[in-house]
A = this chain, B = another copy of it.
Amino acid sequence: MALVQIDEYGPWTVTPAPRRETDLQSLQAELFAELSSFVGERDGYAFYGRFDNMVAVTNGRDPESHRAFQRRVRNRYPVTVSVGVGRATTPVDALGAATEELQAAGSAQADDRREVFGVAERDLPAEARERVTVAHFDVVDATGSLTDRVNAADATLAVRRATLELATHLREAHDSVAHFVGGDNVIAVCPDLDAAAFDEAITHVREASDIELQVGVGRGPTAHAAGDDAKEALEVCRETGTRIRGVDRVAADD
């Protein structure tokens, strides 16, 4: 996992005077589009996080390759970014290691901390490096139950509630990182979980937010490979009414 942090962004947004909000929104969105493209070319996945702190999943890539993203930002945007790369057995640990690389180099708002680049590895069995699990969730019949039916304000809140409950559960129970990716979709990067774990997650969300999710799960050497399998599995869910697809296939699909 890589953490991409805009350097000194808070101060920049108000120097010399508060910058126009829509310009900031555009800048942030463009930066994320850039990261997503960059990471996508390398078969990874990217999440916008808090925009000033974005997250990339780049298994199987040389950490040094992230420096190219720093260069692109420096040459194309009015801000610079620091990048921490962490490797560990769980996504949360990896992101923790990445976070600490940046924190150790100084505050995100320190004016002498620019374009930090750090790589950290937590004790990691060799075989663990090679596979990542991606779970792609969406809301069962979101169009029929939300988009075409309720106020857009409420549809957004409902999806956000489901996302937050899911992400919190997966973080606490399985050291996973889950993120909203648009529409009614949430993608989680996980350790190797079984169908029961996903069933529990879906049940948790249903109870906490009254939203019914389904999930496709894939596993592979890169986030893209795993995620593509997850998307295909989710398509099968949509077509067949299965709620969980792609792991422990016999158990999950019956």
Chain B residues whose C-beta falls within 8 Å of the C-beta of A5 in the assembled complex: 147
Of the candidates B109, B154, B182, B232, the one whose C-beta lies within 8 Å of that of A25 is B182
Chain B proximity mask over A156-172: 1 for CB below 8 Å, otherwise 0: 11011101100110010
Chain B residues whose C-beta falls within 8 Å of the C-beta of A9 in the assembled complex: 183
Chain B residues whose C-beta falls within 8 Å of the C-beta of A115 in the assembled complex: none
**Residues of chain A having any CB pair with chain B under 8 Å:** 3, 5, 9-10, 14, 18-30, 32-34, 36-41, 44-46, 48-53, 55, 68, 71-72, 74-78, 91-92, 95-96, 98-99, 103, 107-109, 143-144, 147-157, 159-161, 163-164, 167-168, 171, 177, 179, 181-184, 187, 224, 227-228, 231-232, 235
Q: Is the CB of B49 within 8 A of A152?
A: yes
Q: Is the CB of B151 within 8 A of A96?
A: yes
* CB<8 Å pairs between A and B, sample of 22: A9-B183, A14-B235, A18-B231, A21-B227, A23-B75, A25-B33, A25-B181, A25-B182, A26-B76, A33-B33, A50-B159, A51-B183, A53-B156, A75-B78, A76-B77, A76-B78, A77-B78, A99-B151, A103-B148, A108-B148, A154-B171, A164-B164
Residue of B nearest to A94 (CB): B153
Q: Is the CB of B55 within 8 A of A152?
A: yes
Q: Is the CB of B49 within 8 A of A68?
A: no
A22-B39, A50-B155, A76-B78 given; name 9 further pairs at CB < 8 Å. A10-B183, A18-B232, A21-B227, A22-B44, A26-B76, A77-B77, A91-B153, A108-B143, A157-B164
Q: Contacts A78-B76, A151-B96, A157-B168: A45 and B21 contacting too (C-beta < 8 A)?
A: yes
CB distance from A222 to the nearest CB of B (A): 11
Q: Contacts A92-B153, A157-B171, A164-B161: A75 and B27 contacting too (C-beta < 8 A)?
A: yes
